[in-house]
Structure 1
Amino acid sequence: MSSKPASFTKNPLKGWVPFWRLIRETKPSRSALAIALTLSLSSTVTALIVPLFTKNVVDSFSLSSIGVPQISLLVVAFVIQAVTAAISTYMLARVGQQVIAGLRERLWRKLLALPVTYYDNHQTGETVSRMTNDTAVVKGLITEHMTSFITGIISIMGSVAILIALDWRMTLVMLTAAPLLMLVMVPLGRKMHLVSKSMQDETAQLSGVLSQVLSEIRLVKASNAEDREFESGMKGIRNMFKLGLSEGKVQALIGPLISLIMMLMLVIIIGYGGFRVSSGALSAGDLVAFILYLFQIMMPASQIAMFFTQMQKAIGATERINETLIDTEEVLETGVVLTGANKPIVADHVRFTYESGGEPVLDGISFVIPPGKVTALVGPSGGGKTTLFSMLERFYTPTEGTIRLGEEPIDSYSLRSWRAAIGYVQQESTLMTGSVRDNIAYGTEREVSEEEIQRAASMAYADRFIDQLPNGYETEVGERGIKLSGGQRQRIGIARALLRDPSILMLDEATSSLDSESEHYVQEALRNLMKGRTTIVIAHRLSTVIDADQLLFIENGRITGRGTHAELLSSHELYRKFAEQQLQAQTVQ
């Protein structure tokens, strides 16, 4: 087990502090809470009147003693109790829903602000589980158990106060149940905390597996990997089943043990009370009132016990939520606002490793990318080209060295303005669920007109297929753009970049996986996009970057050659082999 659960067993209150702090930070409505608590108090006080009424009836029982006023008083008490209980329950449920909505808002805002490095180390499904499953546990505690906990506390305190006034000796005998309850509930609460925390972890892991498999279901089916993925999912399901059984055992013990203790107390009260009645120290009405108040203590005590078991589950969920909330996030607005990026991009002895002490992905590279020119990154796979792109987008920070725009380090500019200056077209453009129009305008911070969207689509040669779609620009593209072809997705991605009008353009060889017709249109669209912009291209095929102003040959994290195509052919042996191999491949085709 981890150190956190171990520390909890030594100090049960330790896990409650961050839980209540988290709830408090959502700023629940104090007025709604005050109204709910006031009504709960009224409802409970009204319920406490009934045993006293019964006591008087028993002590002076006769038909003449039960009249219309007494019956009316009892009916009014029941009606007031029902109405106040209903309103207070609704108010507390409303506050609970507001708390969870606020918590989910904080989490969602945080997840969008976390850097790419966070997602490198956390599965998407696990992260989604924090947003849905963990918050659902907290919601269940507040909306389903908080009401009964508050009313139960009030009911027990009121009942005990009245019982002390009636007969303090009998009350003292009854209160011996409290230490017995603590002996039962404390170890069970600790066990529930450990089990529930493991359950939340296992749920998150299973969500990660399901999310990954279902998002790549075409690969699974094409690879005949259904059986393998079924077993992968079943492993998590079996683990959750075992943890669920452990949780069920704890819950199965709580109810019967509390009932056993309470029934024991009932027997003691009846026996001891009967003795005191027979001796004249207690009236029959007092004994009846004691028994009724005991039941008003027994039911709330059971509900409070369930509240504390659910509380342990909520604490386990809260620990994971807090871990996400305290993680370092990106700050978009801090820094100088970038107003013009028509300057050279300079890398000065940049070194980068993904893990401390690990092998460097980039090992002291230096280069200058001139403004308004095309620079191509070429070389074998795994050389560090994609990592360099990520660093230019400031997804990662250099372990050593600096990247500058002109004379200023790029991290001196605000992250929002820096990324707004960059247009990125991936090897396979990713689309979001929504319409064609939504995807072209995606990420544009200003209001864009219909004419601007259509002009961008036209320059990207996307209007040629958009006009043929069933609903034109309103056509839904499906999850990740699955309803469109690769070439169509690329052209929408280029239209999106054109609409942003970036100063710096980054292309991850956007034509490498397209058929010849789609490649033709995409190449034409890219020419429109590259005009007058600082362009950096990851080249998988040398034929697409022969005319680049500068080529940087990157292998094993180092730049081993730089120059034009002709210069590298004559000076760089590995580049020459690359060029010859691709030329031979094209000749064979």
Structure 2
Amino acid sequence: MASSEKQLKKQAEKGIWKSYFRLMFKAKLPWGWIIFVSALYMFSSTITLAFPNFASKVATGVLKPYIIWGTVGLIVADVIMSGVVRYFNKLLVAKIDVSYRSLIWERLIKSPLRFFDQMKPTTMITRITTDATKISTVLGSYLPSLAATIYGTIGVVAVIFTYDWRLALSVIVYIPLYLIFNLFYGKWNYRAFKETYNRLSTLTQFLSELLMSVPLIKTFVTEKKEDERGHKNLQYYYKANMRRYIIMWVENPINGILSITSDILVILYGGYLVKAEIITISEWLGFFMYIGMLWGMLGSFLMMYVEIKKSQGATDRIAALMDGDLEVSERNFSISKLEDNIVFKDVAFSYGEKPVLGHVDVTIPVGKVTAIVGPSGSGKSTIFSLLQQFYQPNSGEILVGKTPISEYHLTDWRDLFAGVAQDSPMISGTIRENIVYGVNRDVTDAELAEAAEKANALDFIKGFRDGFDTYVGEAGSNLSGGQRQRIAIARAILRNSDILLLDEATASLDSQAEKFIQEAMDTLMQGRTTIMISHDLSNVQDADQIIVLNGGTVDGIGTHDELLKTNELYRLLVQLHTSSSAG
């Protein structure tokens, strides 16, 4: 059992490295810049490698002009190169960062809706911000630095052997011990970091959900309960974080012991070689300085290894996004106008393991008004989602005439739709920007005013000091529900699409607002194929066709009068609506 778990861990580790390298080539990385910055790092390392040889001579009294000026020149060159390397390194990180953020955003915006059902908004934000930053830091800083550190390490080892091979060999034997410890330490540190990061994500999600629910918490007086839950989540994160800090602390004493042991050996054995006149004091001092550089470079390897391990979690998450399915826009046929009926032919659909629609056969006539009614959870909104191809049926097909809608170019097909929903979504911006949103042409002020007037929105828009340039607030928070609905109707009028989807468009409105909305929708529905969902059955009585859904299947189809005579569920729904209206 233990061996199988180890095997699974090794396979997972290989998978992480595989996704890591694959992701490096997914984005359009500035490889020319990476090579250029790597070359700068190497040139800086060359300057650093030359310094101990000059400095050791100055320290032992060798004050020849070329030694003094060489030492000063190397110090100045090192300072200048450090500044140059840092500057171009920051530029490189910024270039890689924007490349990965753009790639992630492009993947997110082209992913199917099913992907967003499985991933929370806070998680998606983390992908674009935190995860992208970690990867860009590794590729922009540590990748060029790694090349220079390898170059510098080889250079130091080569130089110390020119001083005395016995002294060099006595130090080199410590390197495997140092690397073995740091290899295991890096994995240990990575596991601790991953656990802490996961707990931080849990804490962030908890806090974001609660902060959005403060009115609910205060309404039901659950502050004490949520305070306890908050402390529990904070402690959960605190324990993991403390464990990580302890693991981080372990590194310094152990590496310090290894470094001090090496220094003692160099001092004692080097002193013996000087006394025996095998090497000079200048060579001994130079050797000691190079060994200090060697341990610094080995420390850099450790830091880079740990940071790369940390970034693997981010890489794995982004790679999962990169490997996900995307919506296919380019298909076999174009379509610019709906000229035939829409037919659901034996359509079944489920969200994961939960079946929602089962073998639905209906026809939506072109140019007519079709209403869909039924109890909550019967699959009404799913019909809308399948029509717009947010999801694909598990079985069966949706046709226009005899052509499956999945054969039409996706952008062409979705351009046929305009919609007004119960809580019409709005973007942060002005009223003007919201009305023209999704309208793929320039809109004149006259057209804008005409659409607003037809939507019964012009009067309240003019009532604002900035008119159409009034800021609507985040998700339209500065507007009332009725005002948001009328702006959505104005948008649908401007979009002038063939198919109109109305999803509880007058729900949760007062009678005056509902009157304005209903008048605007009557104007909007003229000459279009309209499909509406409504629990208010007074809104559907004049529909050309009413589809009654129950438990994901079609319970009846007909006009209002026909269904009152033939469909028991529809009669029950009408009675319930009449009773609630009378109450």
Q: TM-score, normalised by structure 2?
A: 0.94
Q: Please give the secondary structure, in 2, of the residue aligned with 1:428.
A: coil
Choose the corresponding residue for 2:135, options 117, 135, 138: 138
Partner of 2:236: 239
User: Mapping of 1:484-499 within 5 angstroms?
Assistant: 484-499=479-494
1:78-227 mapped onto 2 (5 Å cutoff): 78-142=75-139, 145=142, 149-227=146-224
What per-residue deviation string (whole Å, max 9, x for no partner) do you get for residues 14-73 of structure 1? Answer: 6334323323433332332333222222222222222222444567x4xxx524443222
CA contact (8 A) 1:40 1:88 kept: yes
Say if 1:218 and 1:563 are closer, same or farther in 2 by CA, change over 3 A. Answer: same
1:325 matched residue in structure 2: 322
The superposition leaves residues 315-341 of structure 1 with CA deviations (integer Å, 9 ceiling, x where unpaired) of 121111111111112122334221211
> What is the distance in 2 between the residues matched to 1:13 and 1:557?
44
Contact 1:461 1:491 in 2 (8 A): yes
Equivalence for 2:259: 262
Q: Residue 580 of structure 1 corresponds to which residue in structure 2?
A: 575
User: After the TM superposition, which of the residue ranges 407-416 and 84-93 deviates more from structure 2?
Assistant: 84-93
Which letter maps to 2:74? A
Percent of aligned pairs sharing the same letter: 32
Q: CA deviation at 1:574?
A: 2.2
**Contact 1:404-1:410 within 8 A present in 2 as well:** yes
Which residue of the partner structure matches residue 402 of structure 1? Answer: 397
Question: Are the counterparts in 2 of residues 345 and 403 from structure 1 also a CA contact under 8 Å?
Answer: yes
Q: 1:46 to 1:577 in 2, by over 3 A?
A: closer
Q: Residue 546 of structure 1: which of 531, 541, 550 is its match?
A: 541
Contact 1:28–1:99 under 8 Å retained in 2: yes
In the alignment, what sits opposite 1:512? Answer: 507
2:387 corresponds in structure 1 to 392
* Selected match of 1:284 from 281, 284, 300: 281
What count of residue pairs does the alignment treat as equivalent? 581
In 1: Cα distance, 2:228 partner to 2:413 partner: 45
Between 472-481 and 28-37, the greater mean CA deviation after superposition: 28-37
Indicate how the Cα distance of structure 1 residues 565 and 13 shifts in structure 2: closer, same or farther if over 3 A, else same.
closer
* Structure 1 residue 96, shift from structure 2 partner: 1.8
Do the aligned partners of 1:125 and 1:205 also contact (CA within 8 Å) in 2?
Answer: no
Quote the Cα distance in structure 2 between the aligned partners of 1:117 and 1:235: 33
1:563 to 558, 561, 564: 558
1:541-579 CA-partner distances (Å, limit 9, x unpaired): 111111111111111111111111111111112211221
**Contact 2:346–2:359 (CA<8 Å) still a contact in 1?**
yes
Q: Which amino acid aligns with 2:564?
A: L
Aligned residue identity for 2:410: L
1:232 to partner: Cα distance = 4.8
Q: Which residue of 1 is the match for residue 421 of structure 2?
A: 426
The one-character-per-residue Cα deviations of 1:55-96 (angstroms, maximum 9, x if unpaired) are: 44567x4xxx52444322211111111112221222222212
Q: State whether residues 196 and 312 of structure 1, in contact with CA within 8 Å, keep that contact through their aligned partners in structure 2.
A: no
Query: Aligned to 1:280, what secondary structure does the other structure show?
Result: coil
Report SS of the residue matched to 2:355: coil
CA distance in 2, matches of 1:133, 1:227: 32
The question of whether the paired residues in 2 share the 8 Å contact of 1:33 and 1:91 is answered with: no
CA–CA separation in structure 2 for the residues paired with 1:256 and 1:12: 28
CA contact (8 A) 2:54 2:70 kept: no
Aligned mates of 1:515, 1:23 — CA distance in 2: 55
Q: Tell me the distance in 2 between the aligned counterparts of 1:129 and 1:226.
A: 28
RMSD: 2.4
CA contact (8 A) 2:399 2:405 kept: yes
| Conservation of the 8 A alpha-carbon contact between 1:551 and 1:564 | yes
Residues 449, 232 of structure 1: CA spacing in aligned structure 2 closer, same or farther, 3 A cutoff?
Answer: farther
Of the three residues 323, 327, 334, the one matched with 2:331 is 334
State which of 304, 308, 324 in structure 2 corresponds to 1:307: 304
Name the SS of the counterpart of 2:502 in structure 1.
Answer: strand
Q: Which amino acid aligns with 1:543?
A: S
Q: Cα offset for 1:242?
A: 2.5
Output the CA distance in 1 between the equivalents of 2:58 and 2:505. Answer: 89
In the TM superposition, what whole-angstrom CA distance separates every residue of 1:248-270 from its partner, at most 9, and x where no partner exists? 22221222222221111000011
CA distance in 1, matches of 2:182, 2:69: 42
Separation of aligned partners in 2, 1:522 and 1:281? 99
Distance in 1 (CA, whole Å) between partners of 2:64 and 2:386 is 86
Amino acid at match of 1:49: A
Q: What is the identity, as a one-letter code, of the residue corresponding to 1:32?
A: W
- Check conservation: 2:34, 2:140, Cα contact below 8 A: no
Contact persistence 1:376–1:552 (CA under 8 A): yes
Q: Distance in 1 between matches of 2:8 and 2:291?
A: 36
- For residues 96-138 of structure 1, the C-alpha deviation after alignment (integer angstroms, 9 at most, x for no partner) is 2211211111111111111111111222212222222222333
In structure 1, how many angstroms separate the alpha carbons of the residues matched to 2:245 and 2:133?
19
8 A contact 1:435–1:475 mirrored in 2? yes
Name the counterpart of 1:76. 73
Provide the rounded CA distance (Å) in 2 between the counterparts of 1:359 and 1:308.
44
CA contact 1:378–1:551 (8 Å) conserved in 2? yes
Query: Distance between the aligned counterparts of 1:189 and 1:8, measured in 2?
Result: 16
Over 3 Å counting, the alpha-carbon distance change for 1:8 and 1:177 in structure 2 is farther
1:457-496 residue pairs with structure 2 within 5 A? Answer: 457-496=452-491
Q: Which residue of 1 aligns with 2:517?
A: 522
CA–CA distance in structure 2, aligned partners of residues 73 and 364 of structure 1? 86
Q: For residue 312 of structure 1, what is the amino acid of its counterpart?
A: K
Distance 2:14 2:255 in 1: 22
Aligned to 2:290: 293
In the alignment, the residues of structure 2 paired with residue 34 and residue 147 of structure 1 have an alpha-carbon distance, to the nearest angstrom, of 7
Q: Deviations over 1:458-511 (max 9, x none)?
A: 111111111111311111111111111110011111111111111011111211
SS at match of 2:516: helix
1:251-296: per-residue Cα shift (whole Å, max 9, x none)? 2122222222111100001111111122222222111111111111
Deviation larger for 208-217 or 360-369: 208-217
- Structure 1 position 8, deviation (Å): 5.2
Q: Which residue of 2 aligns with 1:30?
A: 31
Contact 2:38 2:145 (8 Å CA) reproduced: no
TM-score, length-scaled by structure 1: 0.93
Displacement of 1:406 after TM fit? Answer: 1.6
Query: Could you tell which deviates more after superposition, 490-499 or 573-582?
Result: 573-582
Matches of 1:342 and 1:383, distance apart in 2 = 29
Amino acid at match of 1:390: S
Shift of 1:529: 0.8
* Partner secondary structure for residue 351 of structure 2: coil
Residue 397 of structure 1 and its aligned partner are, at CA, apart by 1.2
Q: 1:72 to 1:58 in 2, by over 3 A?
A: closer
- Quote the Cα distance in structure 2 between the aligned partners of 1:420 and 1:48: 64
Matches of 2:484 and 2:435 in 1, distance apart? 10
User: Cα–Cα, structure 1 residues 207 and 458, in superposed 2: closer, same or farther, change >3 Å?
Assistant: farther
